[in-house]
Structure 1
């Protein structure tokens, strides 16, 4: 669980452009951890995140245990609540597992800084220590009739 004060986080992000600072404030409790929620059961949520070159997803909060897998090769930049900016190279099959205890979370955004599309699948486990955050109906996969 984070013990850093809001003021300390704000100071750590002072070097960020204004649009990033506005986005993290607006989306501090955004539970949409992907572009589209493709499946949900009583046990899991399955998300796809598609990031074309030069695009960034909105800040979002992870509160559930989850893993993500990247399906493409590319470069990403992560922006984190504590002000860190981390560049990463991804490859097909690149996978990371995350665990959060009661009250713990991760608030971040991902930007595609490469020249190839990035595609991720994220699977959240709803039986985690924290309750799932709500997601709007419009983010769910829409099947054309």
Structure 2
């Protein structure tokens, strides 16, 4: 490892995960809705688990559905521990060419559950999303909008 690597103090496995996920646009566990304006994600992280590294390029906000403790790993090598509270909401915006790469680990005793809403009319183009992360609507489910 070069001394210029800001993540050199991370375990080798975590560094490998960073390299594999740093261009991923999967900012949640499942993409539950997508229109021409927004992408809506759910993110569930059980205790002791981590969501993979991913890249935020779109203006977005997230909301925590329950309290919990998380550890964030950031591209610049920072490791930040936070305590989330139910209803906590954070808004982030990225200008043209700006982004953030990170992963989140659940270091608490309860599930972490978030909803993230990305705005597709942001300064950057949305990253591609594989079909494997899109919500699978059960066959025969009524998906009509209520009026």
- After TM superposition, the score normalised by the length of structure 2 is 0.92
Measured after TM superposition, the shift of residue 19 of structure 1 is 1.1
Of 93, 97, 106 in structure 1, the residue corresponding to residue 91 of structure 2 is: 97
Query: Considering only aligned residues, what root-mean-square deviation do their CA atoms show, in Å?
Result: 1.4
Larger Rg computed on CA atoms: 2
Measured after TM superposition, the shift of residue 28 of structure 1 is 1.3
The alpha-carbon distance between structure 1 residues 21 and 10, as it changes in their structure 2 partners (threshold 3 A), is farther
Find the counterpart in structure 2 of residue 133 from structure 1.
127
Gaps of 5+ in 2: 140-147
- The answer to whether the 8 Å contact 1:36/1:141 transfers is yes
Measured after TM superposition, the shift of residue 57 of structure 1 is 0.5
Larger fraction in helix: 1
- Post-superposition, which runs of at least 4 consecutive aligned residues in structure 1 deviate over 4 A? 7-10
- After TM superposition, the score normalised by the length of structure 1 is 0.93
Show the 5 A alignment for 1:26-37: 26-37=20-31
- The answer to whether the 8 Å contact 2:55/2:101 transfers is yes
Q: What CA distance in whole angstroms lies between the structure 2 residues aligned with 1:92 and 1:28?
A: 28
Show the 5 A alignment for 1:77-96: 77-96=71-90
Find the counterpart in structure 1 of residue 106 from structure 2.
112
Find the counterpart in structure 2 of residue 4 from structure 1.
none
Find the counterpart in structure 2 of residue 3 from structure 1.
none
- The answer to whether the 8 Å contact 1:66/1:123 transfers is yes
Q: What CA distance in whole angstroms lies between the structure 1 residues aligned with 2:35 and 2:4?
A: 37
Measured after TM superposition, the shift of residue 8 of structure 1 is 8.1
Q: What CA distance in whole angstroms lies between the structure 2 residues aligned with 1:61 and 1:8?
A: 23
- The answer to whether the 8 Å contact 2:2/2:8 transfers is no
Q: What CA distance in whole angstroms lies between the structure 2 residues aligned with 1:101 and 1:50?
A: 28
The alpha-carbon distance between structure 1 residues 44 and 89, as it changes in their structure 2 partners (threshold 3 A), is same
